[in-house]
Structure 1
Amino acid sequence: MTTLQRQRSAAPAAPRQSRLRRARRALRPARTLPGALVSLTLAGGLGASAAEVVSALLGHPLGWVPLNELAELAGRTSWPETSTTALALAGAGAAMLLLAVVPGRSRLVPVETTDPLIVIGITRTGLRRTLRAAAQQVPGVHRAHVRLRRRTIEVTVVTEAESSGSMLRQVGTAVGDRLAGVGTFGAGEVVVRLLGKGG
């Protein structure tokens, strides 16, 4: 197996990095479903508790929430006596709150634009497909596989056993040109691995 690493020429680092950071932050998905579940659970529980407290103060308790029993239980229970189930439920609730607040991992790769106020992204699957197509257009390449890493793009191509280092440069150039054409932010370096047809 042969490997070639090709570093893409970068624009000025500081503004590019800040634009990349802003684009990644904008493309991160909100956790809508966990947020909605936490919101509905909290709204329902707190709303029922508030209605129960107000109705008890007016002398006509609704009976939805056993406030007196809960107050007595809280008064006579200390932390060491708290059951494992209650602690697990409290931990699950805290995890749900954290899950609802922290945004998810983006499935989009930011694309450079001329306007810094516009944020555009391409799906990771779409980027892999377009880079694989670029690698497979090189004469002699039978198959290509693209893997997107955090700082590198790994391209593994399957060719005839007698393929040489010039094939690596051609694949690296084709993939690098396609990356430049798409204009992805933060693509890093392209690593090309060449396998013979038997490998």
Structure 2
Amino acid sequence: MTAGERAGEAEVCAVPADGGGGAHRAGARPPRDRSADRAAMRAFRPQRRIPAIVVALLLTLLSLLVAAETISALVGRPLRWLPYDRMLAWASSTLWSNPVFLLGSAIVTLLGLALLVTALVPGRPSMVPVRSGDRDVIIGLRPKSVTRALAHAAEKVPGVRSARVRMRGRTVAVTSTGGTGEELGEAVRGAVLGRLAALDLVEPYRVAVNVKERR
């Protein structure tokens, strides 16, 4: 069974890690290789491009401003785009307990924490890594392809009219419409878990099922 067939006509991205390497044998599940799994996870790790670009632009503008002020002061023609005299006078006459100073410190601290959290918390992945068994071959499925394949598996369960699947972190949330009952929910969960096993994703996923009665 090839990677494309496992995803049910899913879009597949296969990236040779070094421009060549081994191949994924069709018809057999690839062996588990921890180094290959780590390589796939690194290749498709979400990147925080927009926050990084914003921070880089702000730091660049600040650096250019400081450089311009410094160079102009050295040549005897200070630009004075920033009111240094007033800032120094305010800092000299302001107590540490001043509400304005405390508010400004709190805002700067919160901005720093927000940037730190943004950098540490992973974003939404563009590709879901699939086990290849070879660290020189990196395979990924688009999240929409994975959810479409899982929804198709859930809709094959007798009593299910339609199903919607969403990936939230390491949880696959399945909402099925049709019949009701705990047995139907377990059947849907089993079908989705079976399709996940067939896809052979690198990372494990928890399946949460919500059964809605058809109106």
TM-score bracket for this pair, using the shorter chain length = 0.5 to 0.7
Alignment match, 1:133: 152
1:141-166 deviations in Å (ceiling 9; x for gaps)? 322343546666454544557x9959
Q: 1:117 to 1:164 in 2, by over 3 A?
A: same
Is the contact made by 1:52 and 1:61 (CA closer than 8 Å) also made in structure 2?
yes
Q: What CA distance in whole angstroms lies between the structure 2 residues aligned with 1:62 and 1:193?
A: 64
Q: Which amino acid aligns with 2:204?
A: A
Is the contact made by 1:35 and 1:100 (CA closer than 8 Å) also made in structure 2?
no
SS of 1:146's partner is: strand
Q: 1:87 to 1:192 in 2, by over 3 A?
A: closer
Which one of 28, 34, 52 corresponds to residue 51 of structure 2?
34
SS of 1:62's partner is: coil
Is the contact made by 2:39 and 2:135 (CA closer than 8 Å) also made in structure 1?
no
Structure 1 unmatched runs, 5+? 1-10
Q: 1:27 to 1:103 in 2, by over 3 A?
A: farther
Q: What CA distance in whole angstroms lies between the structure 2 residues aligned with 1:188 and 1:176?
A: 9
Q: Where in structure 2 are the equivalents of 1:89-100 lying within 5 Å?
A: 89-91=107-109, 93-95=111-113, 97-98=115-116
Q: What CA distance in whole angstroms lies between the structure 2 residues aligned with 1:99 and 1:60?
A: 42
How far apart are residue 131 of structure 1 and its match?
0.9
Q: 1:57 to 1:179 in 2, by over 3 A?
A: same
Q: What CA distance in whole angstroms lies between the structure 1 residues aligned with 2:119 and 2:206?
A: 33
Greater CA deviation, 99-108 or 70-79? Answer: 99-108
Larger Rg: 1
Q: What CA distance in whole angstroms lies between the structure 2 residues aligned with 1:19 and 1:78?
A: 58
- Structure-1-length-normalised TM-score: 0.65
User: Are 2:122 and 1:104 equivalent residues in the alignment?
Assistant: yes
Q: 1:131 to 1:35 in 2, by over 3 A?
A: same
Q: Where in structure 2 are the equivalents of 1:114-153 lying within 5 Å?
A: 114-148=133-167, 153=172
Q: Which amino acid aligns with 1:184?
A: L
Q: 1:34 to 1:152 in 2, by over 3 A?
A: closer
Is the contact made by 2:159 and 2:184 (CA closer than 8 Å) also made in structure 1?
no
Q: Where in structure 2 are the equivalents of 1:36-51 lying within 5 Å?
A: 36-51=53-68
Q: Which amino acid aligns with 2:72?
A: S
Q: What CA distance in whole angstroms lies between the structure 1 residues aligned with 2:83 and 2:173?
A: 60
Q: What CA distance in whole angstroms lies between the structure 2 residues aligned with 1:135 and 1:94?
A: 44
- Structure-2-length-normalised TM-score: 0.61
